[in-house]
């Protein structure tokens, strides 16, 4: 299972990269805004730090506009992936980009039918938003289970990115379902390392080591 960082903050990406647990990065206009930097400047820097795919979202709402933006963004670095919203125009763009050999990440996926359509369009990645489904009393992880079944049934090459991850349990459940990737905010990633019994155990061992030296 791959871990992507769901952030446009370079310091968070550097920290996860140094720990060897950043296989890629996903951004969106909200995350770019939170970085306080321009999309082009920050994405170019991220694409140098991270070897894996770096998703950048198009703003155009029509397929020709999306393709134009995609071609521009793709020239920034070899590991750029174009994030395209799950719309009819978006799927037209995904078909064109797929034929051009440009990788795509279909975003704002909230149903199994949307995922199936995106896979058939040739999406490299699809991003179902589990947290936002949980927010409206739907079961985000149930959708992941459905989509993984569909992808497996037909041996699609499309990879599933579990997105809108809000807590470590989302990552655990994603891994149990065999999801290819989870894109994780830095705060959630931090929580995944910690366990109070680990801290307690280390403190106890250090204390006992000191005692053993005195004896």
Please list the active-site residues: 83
Q: Are 130 and 145 in contact (CB under 8 A)?
A: no
Q: DSSP letter for 129, please.
A: B
Shortest Å distance, C-beta 99 to ligand G3P: 26
Q: Are 103 and 83 in contact (CB under 8 A)?
A: no
164 binds ligand G3P (CB under 6 A): yes
Interface map 41-80 toward ligand G3P (x if CB under 6 A) = ----------------------------------------
Q: What is the dihedral of CA 77, 22, 179, 98, to 10 degrees?
A: 0
Q: Is 161 left (phi over 0), alpha (psi -120 to 50) or beta?
A: beta
With contacts defined by CB under 6 A, how many residues of the chain interact with ligand G3P?
A: 11
Shortest Å distance, C-beta 139 to ligand G3P: 15
Residue 103: both structure tokens together: 């990788």
Instruction: Give the one residue of 79, 129, 144, 160 binding ligand G3P; rule: CB under 6 A.
Output: 129
Residues lying near ligand G3P in the complex (CB under 6 A): 6, 26, 28, 31, 127, 129, 131-132, 163-164, 183
């Amino acid at each position: 299972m791959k871990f992507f960082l769901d952030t446009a903050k370079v310091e968070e990406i550097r920290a996860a990269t140094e720990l060897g647990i950043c296989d890629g990065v996903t951004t969106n206009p909200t995350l770019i805004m939170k970085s306080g930097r321009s999309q082009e400047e920050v994405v170019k820097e991220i694409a140098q730090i991270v070897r894996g795919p770096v998703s950048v979202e198009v703003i155009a709402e029509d397929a020709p506009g999306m393709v134009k933006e995609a071609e521009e963004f793709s020239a920034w670095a070899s590991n750029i992936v174009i994030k395209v919203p799950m719309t009819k125009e978006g799927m037209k763009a995904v078909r064109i980009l797929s034929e051009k050999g440009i990788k795509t990440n279909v975003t704002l996926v909230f149903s199994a039918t949307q995922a199936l359509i995106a896979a058939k369009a040739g999406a490299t990645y699809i991003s179902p938003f589990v947290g936002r489904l949980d927010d409206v009393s739907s079961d985000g992880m149930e959708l992941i289970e459905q989509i993984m079944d569909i992808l497996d049934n037909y041996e699609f090459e499309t990879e599933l990115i579990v997105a809108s991850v809000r807590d470590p349990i989302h990552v655990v459940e994603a891994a149990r379902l065999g999801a290819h990737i989870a894109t994780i905010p830095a705060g959630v990633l931090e929580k995944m390392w910690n366990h109070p019994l680990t801290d307690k155990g280390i403190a106890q061992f250090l204390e006992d080591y000191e005692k053993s030296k005195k004896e």
